[in-house]
Amino acid sequence: MKDKRILTGKQIAVKVGTLNIGGDNPSIMIAGPCAVESRQQVIDTALALKEVGVDVLRGGVFKPRTSPYTFQGMGLKGLEYLKEAGEKINTPIITELMDEKNLDAVVEYSDIIQIGSRNMYNYSLLKEVGGINKPILLKRGMSASIKEWVMAAEYIAAYGNNNIILCERGIRTFEVYTRNTLDLAAVPIMKSETGLPIIVDPSHGTGRKELIMPMAKGALACGADGLMVEVHIDPTEALSDGQQSLNPKEYKKMILELNRCSF
């Protein structure tokens, strides 16, 4: 890549509250439901996660869904519930920003702003978040090449914000057994190309809960700085992505097994 670039490959750590993500810091765990469905649901999930261990609470409030007839999220009310849940367990929160009209609200409430796969190519939105002083989690586009992903991060950095965390969440290929094809080779490649911290999302990366554990192990073995995992208090009742969500008991089992590994 010979383009003029800001992100040169020098290793960067991103500070979120008392957390330092990247560099030589321990791996972080981002967990929570795909979508905030009610105040009780997100608070119950947060409390269960806190018992096991979680660094950042995730939850979608604006949901970009393939079908217009599926649950689209609770919007600003869901954002308030997510913030309340994070405060109850004294944990930072992350949620996805879909468009510029909700930028101010998401900046006010969320500790990390997620740019989802569908918006990786939304360059006007990338410019906007480049102008704010908040960490940005940039997910890889579902069909994005490495260079396109790097350039999306460059958009944010070029407009003034170097507090970028990358997230590999799988790419679309010919394979249909899994929801996406999780590209773990992207972990060392993006670290070398950008120096940014990178986490891996094995929930979206596979779409199958039984594959979350082995892919989580693989991600950490490849040098990922953390994981993003979907956890729901009762996945059988989830309004979105229940098939790729762990329940709290399964989450605890995963954490215990990961803690026994040496990466």
Residue carrying structure tokens 């990466």? 263
**pLDDT string in tens for the chain (263-residue length):** 456 899 998 999 999 999 999 999 999 999 999 999 999 999 999 999 999 999 999 999 987 777 887 777 789 999 999 999 999 999 999 999 999 999 999 999 999 999 999 999 999 999 999 999 999 999 999 999 999 999 999 999 999 999 999 999 999 999 999 999 999 999 999 999 999 999 999 999 999 999 999 999 999 999 999 999 999 999 999 998 889 999 999 999 999 999 999 77
User: Measured in whole angstroms, how far is the alpha carbon of residue 176 from the centre of its chain?
Assistant: 23
User: Is position 69 within any domain?
Assistant: yes
User: Is position 127 within any domain?
Assistant: yes
Q: What's residue 1's pLDDT?
A: 46
User: Is position 107 within any domain?
Assistant: yes
Q: What's residue 240's pLDDT?
A: 87
User: Is position 208 within any domain?
Assistant: yes
Q: What's residue 124's pLDDT?
A: 97
The tokens describing 225, both together, are 């700085």
Q: What's residue 244's pLDDT?
A: 95
Using DSSP, state whether 250 is helix, strand or coil: helix
The DSSP output letter for 171 is B
**What is the rounded CA–CA span in Å between residue 56 and residue 50?**
10
- In 3D, which of 259, 199, 200, 201 has the Cα closest to residue 230? 201
Structural domain of 186: 14-258
The tokens describing 105, both together, are 């609200």
User: Is position 114 within any domain?
Assistant: yes
Does residue 14 contact residue 163 with C-beta atoms inside 8 Å? yes
- In 3D, which of 73, 93, 84 has the Cα closest to residue 238? 73
User: Is position 5 within any domain?
Assistant: no
User: Is position 6 within any domain?
Assistant: no
CATH of the domain at 120: 3.20.20.70
Q: How many domains is the chain partitioned into structurally?
A: 1
Backbone angles phi, psi at 168, to 5 degrees: -80, 120
Does residue 168 contact residue 146 with C-beta atoms inside 8 Å? no
**What is the rounded CA–CA span in Å between residue 229 and residue 173?**
22
The tokens describing 167, both together, are 């997230």
Burial 93-124 (b: 16+ CB within 10 A, else e): bbbbbbeeebbebbeebbbbbbbbbebbebee
The helix or strand, by DSSP H or E, that contains position 39, with its residue range, turns out to be: helix 39-52
